[in-house]
A and B are shown apart, each in its own frame.
Chain A
């Protein structure tokens, strides 16, 4: 849905900003893992790409609010950080496939890096409703980039923290703590939202324990609706065939073992429609399968 939302608050959370807006139609349809896109810069903006943000939380106040976390790192996000209460905002959402939720009580590890932890708290609430246990493993460069540590501590069965500079929790990377946490928590599934290199390592480590990973990828997007074809990555379908898919409509949550992490930013030679010995293929391709079809397990087919 595309709605004209209204800013309720923009508040600072250490290195990040948290924006809450009133958008009932989006709030009521949201499921954890989905995202919104925002047009930045006003009606005459020169910034044509929409900014995509994983939804942190929705609440029933004011008919329905949507909250997301961002870092003011460029002109678009700086514009967002400068918004005031009651400013209008062009919002599209909820978009993308949500995190699949287990049917039965499961031991879940929620892993986030930086403000990648933002979408995990709504997921944790949903998992607890299903009788799952939730452990948190959060990482950041420094203490001021650790988002939601208090909530993690309060609501998780356990919460483990790591920062690169040692200013909060253990010194080091989350991936260094993963073996220990998986073993102690008897983790059965990992939900991860982190930069691609971290996700790659998490999937690799988890595979040793045969623990599945639901990975929310953070790749640049410009439209969020599937038209611009900008946010692509190579993903193998459950049929074993690799396709170049769009994170915005086929993700942003993918089964970790299906993403070709080592081939990110490339076109693998065996992907459907890959060039064969030159610009475009002269040889006929044997597969004419659809581009979509990378459904996460767990029976969620709703695409937002």
Chain B
């Protein structure tokens, strides 16, 4: 890390007090704000040999559904500039296998577990919330609203404030009161603040912003869609500016709502950017595909970065970009990083 001095206060660095990385997320205390995002850390086992799952803030599971699902046929992945398109189609073992096998394993490793749930009907979501409430050790529930709604001809719940709110209300009803519920929203909407507001009114304790965006690639050799599922979800650094924009907009409209920021975070500086926009914690997703130790690395980089800036508590940077410019890096006598 190269951070030059332009006069003013001395750098914090080696001699600085360690940064207090603890954060509170919807009433849950986490040791740090770096989480593994849903869908990119499996159920934890896959990344465990590269990242100590107990060290990261929390692990958000791949979306769990009521029944086992095969997902879509291959090809499921296409590489795009600074992004990945996927049409995995929510392949998963179902809630029974998750509760029997994956959740106990994660808890035995000392991980804090946020369970992402997906469904095709409001009732399926509510049932999952109830099942998770009977299990010990679930830190929070993240509601993946980017699932196709069966009664609505496969339209994503997240596209419509009312449909999203309906799911959130049912999950909040079905879940134990002490388990916070986070609604994960799609950026593929005209007005994300409207969907966010509807979810909070429906009882969500916080929001996850944002899910992967709908995209498509065509194989110019076969002249057919590159993915068997035709469309795919675009993730990775390519979508980071969209995530920052959505987090910013929602933070401005709903300044007290805790936000799990996800979207293209690859480095500690990227994580800092999302926190400055308003994220309480940051999820690492596609970066794990590229670097299986990404969570541990981003956590280390973020901590170093905060120490360099001279921040005492990680929680203090959340939403700072909305404040006065004089609070910035330059005001602290530090130049911009290259």
A interface residues with partner B (beta carbon < 8 Å): 1-2, 39, 45-50, 90, 92, 219-220, 222-223, 225-233, 244, 249, 264-267, 271-275, 278-281, 284-285, 287-291
Contacts and interface: CB of A to CB of B under 8 A. Distances in A.
A48 B236 contact: yes
Contact of A48 (B41, B47, B68, B289): B289
A272 B92 CA distance: 10
A92 B84 CA distance: 20
A290 B93 contact: yes
A48 B94 CA distance: 29
Interface string B35-64: 000001110011101100000000000000
A2 B79 contact: no
Given A39-B291, A50-B289, A266-B73, 7 more contacts: A220-B75, A230-B76, A232-B71, A272-B70, A273-B67, A281-B67, A290-B93
Contact of B148 (A279, A284, A287): A279
Interface in B222-268: 228, 236-237
Given A50-B289, A223-B292, A228-B289, A267 B70 contact: yes
A230 B77 CA distance: 6
B94 A225 contact: no
B72 A228 contact: no
Contacts of A2: 50, 291-293
B150 A227 contact: no
B40 to A, nearest CB: 6
Nearest to B50: A2
A288 B74 contact: no
A227 B288 contact: yes
Contacts of B289: 48-50, 222-223, 227-228
Contacts of A288: 68, 93-94, 96-97
A275 to B, nearest CB: 7
B212 to A, nearest CB: 12
A226 B46 contact: yes
Given A230-B88, A288-B68, A279 B120 contact: yes
